[in-house]
Amino acid sequence: MYERDQLFIDGKWTAPESPDAAISVISPHSEQVIGHAAIAGPADVNRAVEAARAAFDSGPWPHMQPAERIEAVNRLAGIYKERRADMAALISAEIGAPISFAKMAQVRLPLTMLQAFCAFAGDYHWQQERPGLYGKNIRIVKQPVGVVAAVVPWNMPQFLTVTKVAPALLAGCSVVLKPAPESVLDAQLLAEIVAAADLPPGVVNVVPGGRDVGEQLVSHTGVDKVSFTGSTAAGREVARACAAGLKQASLELGGKSAAIVLDDADPAATAAGIQMASLANSGQVCNALSRILVPEDRKGAFVDALAAAMESMTVGDPSDPNTQIGPLVAQRQQERVRGYIESGRSEGARLVTGGAEMPDGLDTGWYVRPTLFADAHNDMRIAREEIFGPVLTVISYRDEDEALRIANDSEYGLAGSVFTSDVERGYDVAARVRSGTFGVNEGYIMDPAAPFGGVKNSGYGRELGMEGIDSYTVSQSISTAGP
């Protein structure tokens, strides 16, 4: 049982506005309460923003040399590394991520991101000179954008937190982090790590809570920028709030990414790549490949290979190192995904494997069996809406042009992939798909050096890479009169 009855605000642990109110975290596997955390009230959100505002307006952090901030974030990364086993176990317990995946993607990847951003900040052009058209040099200085509200969901909590907080800190911003209620425990552990890193007071603050906390935070007049990851519907509300306050915003939203399997691809290799890119974290990943486009004349071979790969996956207790598919994060999510499975069947898609029933040998937990539909059409709900679970939909096409038309026939544009034996052909396909990221013979990998983000209803703005630091800066232009 993990208990944290205080909030991390202004560099210290303090009592919340309502000490008797708390977030209860329930294990998706056992359906039992595994921890409690304090919940922020309106006064707590105000205190957190005021602390961040003071840290930015009158504190030392934004005026430090970049090298000093890099040293501080590197110090934080060192403490994070020491706590990575605790972090992985906590994330696995609270959201049901298989422990092997939690160690790799939920903890090792965020640590890599922390270290990588420090390296990027060392090479970043914080100041540069350029010739002006009037014969004088112009100095361009990258200044921190100000107080950042970082709002993250539950599915990849530390990764999504680090990709916002690390570049914001390195740019000289102060941050108010709002974690999701389902993953509040790992956010509190991160606050412990921040406290141990001895950053200046108010530079990082954490306000756990539900939608009301998020709404207050993103509309707060003391916030200069909002970085939000979540659903497209929620992203629209965030965008409206930011527009009303003329705040900068970065939105990383939903996806319905297509894997285009060309006629020269190998079925077994393709199935293995899609298995990793589509079903990691039980399919609860925004850039998961959930629409599988296969050539009509080879449809049977690809469907059979996908079914075999999915049926081979071990479903069960997320604490077991052999588990590949854990439970979904909450009962509402289980019910949502089961609803999509029933929708697919009622609309006429063929259920190849899986289904809405509990996996064999499991009586408790919010599980959904890895499910594959074939003979589907792109106008079905299972092909158009983000399911956020272990459900894949196979759609056949007659030629490459039709495959591209189907891939682009989506309101989303976050990611995509092509599988082919000809890499140059893969690059050509990638250039004709409208998405922010793309993979050739793999799902898009979250490389720290590459900007990540979407187009269309998948949002705007970029995280990771040098562009991830750009997102937390504003350019100040300075011209000088005189000789």
Residues with catalytic annotation?
252, 286
How far is it, in rounded angstroms, from Cα 115 to Cα 126? 19
**Residue given tokens 């916002």 in the structure block:** 164
At 68, which amino acid appears? E
Determine the Cα–Cα distance for residues 451 and 258; give it in Å rounded to an integer: 20
Listed in sequence order, the DSSP H helices in 280-323 are 299-311
Q: Which residues in 196-308 belong to E strands, given as ranges?
A: 204-206, 225-229, 248-252, 257-261, 289-295
Contacts of residue 390, Cβ cutoff 8 Å, sequence gap at least 6? 278, 279, 282, 283, 310, 325, 337, 354, 368, 369, 370, 371
**Alpha helical stretches, state H, 11-123:** 42-57, 66-82, 84-95, 99-101, 109-123
**238, two tokens:** 């965030």
**250 Cβ contact partners less than 8 Å away, ≥ 6 residues apart:** 225, 226, 227, 228, 453, 459, 460, 461, 462, 463, 471
Decide the pairing of beta strands 225-229 and 147-151: parallel
Instruction: Read off the amino acid at residue 245.
Output: G
CB 174 within 8 Å of CB 148: yes
Rounded Cα distance between 133 and 376, Å, is 59
Contact yes or no for 147/224 (Cβ under 8 A):
yes
The phi-psi region of residue 316 (left if phi > 0; otherwise alpha if psi is between -120 and 50; otherwise beta) is left
Cα–Cα distance measured from residue 453 to residue 461, given in angstroms and rounded to the nearest whole number:
6
The edge-to-edge listing of strands for the beta sheet with 257-261 is 350-353, 371-374, 391-397, 289-295, 257-261, 416-419, 439-440
8 Å CB contact between 353 and 370: yes
What type of residue sits at position 98?
Answer: P
